[in-house]
Structure formats: C-alpha cells, structure tokens
C-alpha cells in the first residue's frame, strides 16, 4: 500500500477489466476529496498534478501532502502533461511514481527521442512513464490545441513508438478533448481506432485524456449560483464504460468534472450564506461535491471499487 508506480496496478486492471481514475488536484481540499472517495470504496487511484498546479502549490508541498495522506491506499502520484525532460526529472526527484511526458506536439521522431530520454531516467529511479501519440483538441490548464491541430493516433505508429521508447503506457487520441465543451455536435469516440491500436499492442496499458463527462447536475448547480457554463458537455459515461471495461484503457483523466463540482459547492455556500467568512465552510462544500463525483466514477464508470 502507499505510493507505487503503474506497472502492477495497470496489469491488474487489464486482467480484471477495470480502469483507474486519474484525478487532478491543486490543493489540500481537492486531494483530500479524491482520497476520501478511494478510501471509502477501497479503490486504487491516481492523483495527478499538471505543471501549472505545481507552479501554484509548490512541488515540495505537493510531495509532503500526498505522502502524509496515502499510507494506507494504493496510489500513483502522476505528473500530468510534463512538457520537458526537466519537468519530468523534477517530478521523479520529488517522489512522483509515474510521469507523463507530452511531446505529442513534436514530430514523431522528436517525440520518440524526448520520451526515450525521460524513460531512461525514470526507469533508473523505479518510476514508470506515460507518453502521448496523437493530439487532442481543447484547452485545459497549460494544455491546448485547436480543432484543426487535433489528430487521431495512428495504430502502426503506436506500436513502433512503444517498441522504440520502452514507455509503460500510452495516451491515445480517439476523439476525447480537453476542457468543458468537448463536442459541438453528437458525441463520438473512434472505437475502431482503439481496437486497431489494441491489435498492434495487445495487453498494453492505454490512457484517455480529456475524458471528463461533465456531470450535468453539477453544471446546473454551479449555474444556479452564478456560474456561466452554457453548453458545457463531456464524454458520455456509457462510452467511457465501454472503453474501460471492454478495452485496454486502464487510466482515464478527470479534471473538468472536479473543477465544476468544487466551484458549485463554493458558490452555493457563498450565495446562500453571504455572511460567512469562514473559508472552511465553503471549501468543505466544494470538497463534498468532488468526493461525490469521484465515487460515481469509481463505481459506475471505471469499475474500480473494491479492487485495491
């Protein structure tokens, strides 16, 4: 129990047809909310920080918070969307057990070269590595690409990429996107591409980024108390269930869902109790809603409850 890399957890997930939610946090409240859900449901979990969150909270504080709160859980601490070798090295050196190098914006050969450099360093420290092939559209934190720049993962390239880099898991582009407005029309994921990738990489851990479902009850609650989220939409949960229980998608990134839920809780208290100046009161409500959303993901989407 406690912090561990992805090797065994992802292998177990593939064998037993479930996925592990990868939930972004930026402070103690969001971290605690995620871990409360994992504890209650006896679920493995991935807690992750972007480089933006690290700049905000400080990597030493993040390291201390996570180590203090994860002793009795199966937890991966992941760097989300590291852009440089230095980003990944810094995370490895501060106790992260998995790092994601995102060189998907580079050429295929440049992506391979940078990923291989990160893999060699991380593996020497017992840390596993995720990389990305293909480009997702959308904007979230320090990750952005226009719809014109988005491109699906090429299955044959995926096989070559994994073989040449030695990476431990691969984030693929099959139609998910970053941000709170994922589809302008009908939601669609390219399960045909996913199946072709699996043929090329049998039993290999695959990852979906930009996979928040944007729970409409939380959108409505946030809007009820003043948020402007008109048209916010996400990946339908039935599509995520298919990807995680019938395919080898073992890690699913969730960020926007938590942002909206936390915002809904804070807005609710500040609106209904305008006299409050006790930060604990409104932060506690935000934390409550994040825990509810994470529990729903673990039980009804990822099938990870009671798998720790």
What residues are annotated to the active site?
80
Compute the distance between CA of residue 224 and CA of residue 172 in angstroms, rounded to an integer: 36
In this structure, is the dihedral angle defined by the CA atoms of residues 212, 203, 107 and 116, taken in order, positive or negative? positive
Compute the distance between CA of residue 68 and CA of residue 181 in angstroms, rounded to an integer: 35
Q: In which residue are the tokens 């449901």 written? A: 41
Residues in the chain: 308
Q: What is the DSSP code string of 104-141?
A: TTS-HHHHHHHHHHHHHHHHHTT-EEEEEESB-EEEET
Instruction: Name the DSSP letter for residue 189.
Output: -
Compute the distance between CA of residue 294 and CA of residue 274 in angstroms, rounded to an integer: 28
Please report how many Cα atoms fall inside a 13 Å half-sphere around the Cα of residue 177, on the Cβ side.
24
For residue 146, which phi and psi values (nearest 5 degrees)?
Answer: -75, 165
Neighbour-count burial of 278, counting CB atoms closer than 10 A to its CB (0-12 exposed, 13-18 middle, 19+ buried): exposed
Cα-trace Rg, the chain: 18
Please report how many Cα atoms fall inside a 13 Å half-sphere around the Cα of residue 301, on the Cβ side.
25
Going by C-alpha positions, the residue among 162, 157, 242, 161 that lies closest to residue 196 is 157
On whether the CB atoms of residues 252 and 235 are closer than 8 A, the answer is no
């Amino acid at each position: 129990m406690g912090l561990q890399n992805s090797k065994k957890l992802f292998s177990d997930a593939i064998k037993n047809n479930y996925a592990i939610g990868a939930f972004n946090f930026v402070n103690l409240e969001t971290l605690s909310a995620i871990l409360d859900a994992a504890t209650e449901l006896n679920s493995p979990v991935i807690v992750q920080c972007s480089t933006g969150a690290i700049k905000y909270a400080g990597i030493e504080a993040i390291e201390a918070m996570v180590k203090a709160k994860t002793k009795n859980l199966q937890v991966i601490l992941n760097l989300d969307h590291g852009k440089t070798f230095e980003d990944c090295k810094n995370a490895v050196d501060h106790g992260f057990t998995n790092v994601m190098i995102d060189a998907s914006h580079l050429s295929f050969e440049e992506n391979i070269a940078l990923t291989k450099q990160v893999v060699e360093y991380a593996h020497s420290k017992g840390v596993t590595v995720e990389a990305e092939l293909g480009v997702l559209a959308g904007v979230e934190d320090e990750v952005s690409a226009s719809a014109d720049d988005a491109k699906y993962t090429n299955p044959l390239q995926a096989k070559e990429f994994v073989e040449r880099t030695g990476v431990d898991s691969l984030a693929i582009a099959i139609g998910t996107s970053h941000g709170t407005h994922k589809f302008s029309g009908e939601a669609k994921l390219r399960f045909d591409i996913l199946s072709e990738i699996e043929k090329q990489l049998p039993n290999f851990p695959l990852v979906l980024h930009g996979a928040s479902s944007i729970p409409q009850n939380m959108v409505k609650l946030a809007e009820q108390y003043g948020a402007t989220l008109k048209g916010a939409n996400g990946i339908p949960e039935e599509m995520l269930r298919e990807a995680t229980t019938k395919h080898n998608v073992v890690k699913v990134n969730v960020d926007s869902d938590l942002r909206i839920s936390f915002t809904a809780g804070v807005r609710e208290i500040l609106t209904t109790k305008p006299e409050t100046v006790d930060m604990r009161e409104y932060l506690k409500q935000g934390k409550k809603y994040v825990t509810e959303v994470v529990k729903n993901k673990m039980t009804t989407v990822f099938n990870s409850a009671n798998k720790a």
